Amino acid sequence: MKKLALLAIAAFAVSTAPAMADHHEGGDHKGHGEKMFMKMDVNNDGVVSREEFVNHAGMRFDKMDADNNGDISMEEAEAAKKDMRKRMKDMKEKMEMSE
Ligand SMILES: [Ca+2]
Ligand SMILES: [Ca+2]
Protein backbone atom coordinates (compact mmCIF):
# COMPACT_ATOMS: atom_id res chain seq x y z
CA MET A 1 0.00 0.00 0.00
CA LYS A 2 2.86 2.30 0.80
CA LYS A 3 4.33 1.59 -2.60
CA LEU A 4 1.06 2.44 -4.31
CA ALA A 5 0.77 5.73 -2.45
CA LEU A 6 4.29 6.64 -3.51
CA LEU A 7 3.48 5.79 -7.10
CA ALA A 8 0.35 7.89 -6.90
CA ILE A 9 2.39 10.84 -5.71
CA ALA A 10 4.99 10.24 -8.40
CA ALA A 11 2.33 10.03 -11.08
CA PHE A 12 0.73 13.19 -9.80
CA ALA A 13 4.08 14.98 -9.77
CA VAL A 14 4.77 13.91 -13.34
CA SER A 15 1.34 15.07 -14.46
CA THR A 16 1.57 18.47 -12.81
CA ALA A 17 5.24 19.22 -13.51
CA PRO A 18 4.82 20.38 -17.12
CA ALA A 19 2.07 22.78 -16.08
CA MET A 20 4.37 24.29 -13.50
CA ALA A 21 7.21 24.53 -16.00
CA ASP A 22 4.92 26.36 -18.40
CA HIS A 23 4.02 28.83 -15.75
CA HIS A 24 7.05 31.01 -16.37
CA GLU A 25 6.62 31.16 -20.10
CA GLY A 26 3.51 33.26 -19.84
CA GLY A 27 0.61 32.51 -22.12
CA ASP A 28 -2.52 30.69 -21.16
CA HIS A 29 -1.76 28.58 -18.16
CA LYS A 30 -4.78 29.30 -16.05
CA GLY A 31 -7.30 26.59 -15.44
CA HIS A 32 -4.99 23.70 -16.01
CA GLY A 33 -4.90 22.66 -12.40
CA GLU A 34 -8.64 23.04 -12.27
CA LYS A 35 -9.11 20.87 -15.33
CA MET A 36 -6.84 18.28 -13.81
CA PHE A 37 -8.85 18.40 -10.63
CA MET A 38 -12.14 18.02 -12.48
CA LYS A 39 -10.76 15.08 -14.36
CA MET A 40 -9.82 13.41 -11.12
CA ASP A 41 -13.11 14.27 -9.45
CA VAL A 42 -14.98 11.51 -11.26
CA ASN A 43 -18.26 11.81 -9.34
CA ASN A 44 -18.17 15.64 -9.49
CA ASP A 45 -18.78 16.16 -5.80
CA GLY A 46 -16.19 18.93 -5.67
CA VAL A 47 -13.54 16.94 -3.87
CA VAL A 48 -11.03 14.37 -4.99
CA SER A 49 -11.34 11.43 -2.66
CA ARG A 50 -8.49 9.12 -1.93
CA GLU A 51 -10.17 6.53 -4.12
CA GLU A 52 -10.48 8.94 -7.02
CA PHE A 53 -6.89 9.99 -6.61
CA VAL A 54 -5.64 6.43 -6.53
CA ASN A 55 -7.86 5.47 -9.47
CA HIS A 56 -6.52 8.34 -11.50
CA ALA A 57 -2.96 7.48 -10.55
CA GLY A 58 -3.69 3.87 -11.42
CA MET A 59 -4.88 4.84 -14.90
CA ARG A 60 -1.78 6.93 -15.30
CA PHE A 61 0.31 4.03 -14.14
CA ASP A 62 -1.26 1.74 -16.73
CA LYS A 63 -0.59 4.32 -19.42
CA MET A 64 3.01 4.73 -18.37
CA ASP A 65 3.60 1.00 -18.14
CA ALA A 66 4.12 0.69 -21.87
CA ASP A 67 4.92 -3.03 -21.89
CA ASN A 68 2.26 -3.84 -19.26
CA ASN A 69 4.57 -5.83 -17.07
CA GLY A 70 3.23 -4.20 -13.91
CA ASP A 71 6.30 -2.06 -13.30
CA ILE A 72 7.30 1.34 -14.52
CA SER A 73 10.92 1.35 -15.50
CA MET A 74 13.05 4.47 -15.59
CA GLU A 75 12.77 4.40 -19.38
CA GLU A 76 9.00 4.18 -19.27
CA ALA A 77 8.83 7.04 -16.80
CA GLU A 78 11.09 9.16 -18.98
CA ALA A 79 9.09 8.27 -22.10
CA ALA A 80 5.87 9.23 -20.34
CA LYS A 81 7.38 12.52 -19.27
CA LYS A 82 8.54 13.29 -22.78
CA ASP A 83 5.19 12.26 -24.21
CA MET A 84 3.40 14.49 -21.72
CA ARG A 85 5.63 17.45 -22.59
CA LYS A 86 4.99 16.91 -26.27
CA ARG A 87 1.25 16.70 -25.76
CA MET A 88 1.24 19.83 -23.65
CA LYS A 89 3.18 21.61 -26.37
CA ASP A 90 0.85 20.39 -29.10
CA MET A 91 -2.13 21.44 -27.03
CA LYS A 92 -0.65 24.85 -26.44
CA GLU A 93 0.12 25.32 -30.12
CA LYS A 94 -3.39 24.27 -31.07
CA MET A 95 -4.84 26.72 -28.57
CA GLU A 96 -2.68 29.51 -29.89
CA MET A 97 -3.63 28.72 -33.46
CA SER A 98 -7.35 28.74 -32.72
CA GLU A 99 -7.19 32.18 -31.20
CA1 LIG B 1 -15.17 13.25 -5.98
CA1 LIG C 1 6.82 -1.75 -17.77
Q: Tell whether the model's pLDDT for residue 96 goes beyond 90.
A: yes
Handedness of CA 48, 50, 55, 56 (dihedral sign): positive
- Protein residues placing their CB within 5 Å of the ion ligand 1: 41, 43, 45
How confident is the model at residue 31, as a pLDDT? 80
Q: What is the mean pLDDT of residues 77-98?
A: 93
Q: Give me the residues near ligand 2 (ion), CB cutoff below 5 Å.
A: 65, 67, 69, 71
Enter the pTM of the model: 0.53
Q: What confidence tens digit (pLDDT) does each residue in 27-76 have? A: 555 587 898 899 999 999 999 999 999 999 999 899 999 999 999 999 99
Count, residues in the chain: 99
User: Residue 25 C-alpha to ligand 2 middle, in angstroms?
Assistant: 33
CA 74–ligand 2 middle distance (angstroms): 9
**CA separation for the pair 22, 41 (Å, rounded):** 23
Question: 13 with 58: CB under 8 angstroms?
Answer: no
pLDDT surpasses 70 at 3: no
3-state class (DSSP) for residue 72:
coil
